Amino acid sequence: MSESLAVGGALARRDTAEPRAAEPRAAEPRAGDLGNLAVLDTRRKLQLALAVIWLLDGILQYQPVMFTKAFPQMLTAASAGNPAVVASGVNWSANLVDHHLVLLNAIFATTQLALGLGISWRPTVKLALGASVPWALAVWWLGEGLGGVLTGTASPINGAPGAVILYALLAVLLWPPDRNPPAQNPPAQNPPAPFVADRNPAAPFVADRNPAASFVAARAVGRPVARASWLVLWGSLAFFALLPASRAPHAISGMISDMASGEPGWLAWIDHHAASALAGHGLPASIALAVALALVAAGIYLPSRLTRPVIVLAILLATLIWLAEGLGGILTGAGTDPASGPLLALLALAFWPAASTPPPPATPATPATPASGA
């Protein structure tokens, strides 16, 4: 999967710069460069970040509490308020897990661990990303009850539309290119690192569906689809923020204070203070949150120079949501994933506009000064 790797040369220096059709895509990766994470292509970096989250998920699933009855009880709770067709699937999976708790939980954890390792290893990145989509969709339904979006209680603060659906969306948006055009640049002369994956002559060039995309997420699915997915996601968050379950006077403060239970002191302090500040102000808080989310949703259609502040706002909101979620409860020893905050931030980074590439300087008419002149 070295095709998603664009390292070395000019692209390494302007990492977010999109490749242009009129210029060479990137120099062939140099072995010596690969020891430095900074030379990786932005998409590959985001893929690795996604791999890290999958690894974290897998190891969290190995926690001792997941091998107890608490895990199927957690699954059963996800069925509350859902339509029968959704709830029946959730209850079925909870019963199945309850009867084969150790085996199934070990399989779940190992699968997530394998997805993380598969994404990080280039030869299997497509396989792992592809497998993560049905896995995430299945968990979204059978484990999270569709994130509660049909229950009427969904809110960005309680993780709607479900963290796991964001894994699937990220897998699609960070999908590697389909094929590899022939190499255009000669291999570099640096001494090779011991086991780097950079010496596949067919691999290093990126063949994107939309190589002129101005952000990473558009490379795989194209700009319109990527933007539409952004609009739907953040727009739905804005919608959820305005539901009665969120705009009730003590709704948001109640959600935040509930998250504080079992958290370390510093996080509980943050959550308690945030909850007390918002107590009784559910309507204005939900409106403000919805406006900010709607601004983020629509902001992706602004020109690039205006998109950056929108992405920064999205990352800020993701951070606030993550804190309100109590970091997904992972510090309580009972969390199964880091919740939606980090994934929203990762998604926002995938939409960060590429830096515009300055035109190449004109060739000077005078002879170049000798390099040794200094």
Residues that bind another protein (CB under 8 A): 31-37, 40, 44, 48, 51-52, 55-56, 59-60, 62-65, 67-70, 102, 106, 113, 116-117, 119-123, 189-200, 262-268, 330-334
Report the residue number, 37 or 84, with the smaller CB distance to another protein. Answer: 37
Pairwise CA distance, residues 248 & 283, whole Å = 6
Residue 4 buriedness (CB in 10 A; 0-12 / 13-18 / 19+): buried
> First-to-last CA distance in the chain?
43
Measured from the CB of residue 351, what is the shortest distance to another protein in angstroms?
Answer: 22
Question: Comparing C-alpha atoms, which of 141, 149, 160 is closest to residue 89?
Answer: 141
Measured from the CB of residue 147, what is the shortest distance to another protein in angstroms?
Answer: 23
Exposure string (b/e) for 57-74, b if CB count within 10 Å is 16 or more?
Answer: bbebbebeebeeeebbeb
Task: Count CB atoms within 10 A of the CB of residue 1.
Answer: 22
Measured from the CB of residue 343, what is the shortest distance to another protein in angstroms?
Answer: 14
The answer to whether 310 and 13 are in contact (CB under 8 A) is no
Q: In this structure, which amino acid lies at residue 140?
A: W
Measured from the CB of residue 149, what is the shortest distance to another protein in angstroms?
Answer: 28
Measured from the CB of residue 7, what is the shortest distance to another protein in angstroms?
Answer: 11
Measured from the CB of residue 358, what is the shortest distance to another protein in angstroms?
Answer: 27
Range 340-345 contact pairs with CB under 8 angstroms and sequence separation of 24 or more: 340/156, 340/159, 340/160, 340/162, 340/163, 340/166, 342/53, 342/318, 343/53, 343/163, 343/166, 343/167, 343/170, 344/166, 344/314, 344/317, 344/318, 345/314, 345/315, 345/318, 345/319
Task: Count CB atoms within 10 A of the CB of residue 315.
Answer: 19
Measured from the CB of residue 266, what is the shortest distance to another protein in angstroms?
Answer: 8
Measured from the CB of residue 122, what is the shortest distance to another protein in angstroms?
Answer: 7
Report the residue number, 5 or 238, with the smaller CB distance to another protein. Answer: 5
Report the residue number, 44 or 219, with the smaller CB distance to another protein. Answer: 44
Tokens 């640049």 found at: 185
Pairwise CA distance, residues 173 & 226, whole Å = 7
Question: Comparing C-alpha atoms, which of 242, 281, 266 is closest to residue 323?
Answer: 266
Task: Count CB atoms within 10 A of the CB of residue 197.
Answer: 17
Measured from the CB of residue 32, what is the shortest distance to another protein in angstroms?
Answer: 4
